[in-house]
Structure 1
Amino acid sequence: MPFTSSDIAKIIVAIILPPVGVILERGCGADFLINVLLTILGYIPGIIHALYIILKY
């Protein structure tokens, strides 16, 4: 599965602000709320979760 320019942009946004990357990919749902919680608890887990969501879907 090749990356598109929008995927690359979402990855860059996810590194800077993980919840924004998730909301761009999946919308405002359970994944977004989980990512907000992970980002509050630790920035790195929020990034990992955001990258997982972007690369999975």
Structure 2
Amino acid sequence: MELLRIIISVLLPPLGAFFKVGLGLQFWINLVLTLCGYFPGLVHVIWLLARK
């Protein structure tokens, strides 16, 4: 399941953040970062996944 979450996170960072934390603050931060540019959203979701 973790591998699937990583693949989804790379393709659509907000969706990966949603699967990890739900509709919380981190999801909205990731959505704004992804709208500003793909790379900031990707870095944020990788941080979320690595944080556990």
TM range (shorter): over 0.9
| Regions of 4+ moved over 3 Å | none
Larger Rg: 1
Shift of 1:7: 1.4
Are positions 1:32 and 2:27 aligned together?
A: yes
Are positions 1:17 and 2:12 aligned together?
A: yes
Q: Greater helix percent: which structure?
A: 2
Residue equivalent to 1:41: 36
Number of residue pairs matched by the alignment: 52
TM-score by structure 1 length? 0.86
Aligned letter for 1:37? V
Percent of paired sites with the same residue: 35
Consecutive unaligned residues in structure 1, runs of 5 or more: 1-5
Shift of 1:43: 0.3
Shift of 1:8: 1.2
Residue deviations 1:1-57, cap 9 Å, x none?
A: xxxxx1111111010000000000111010000000000001011011011101112
Structure 1 vs Structure 2 CA RMSD: 0.6
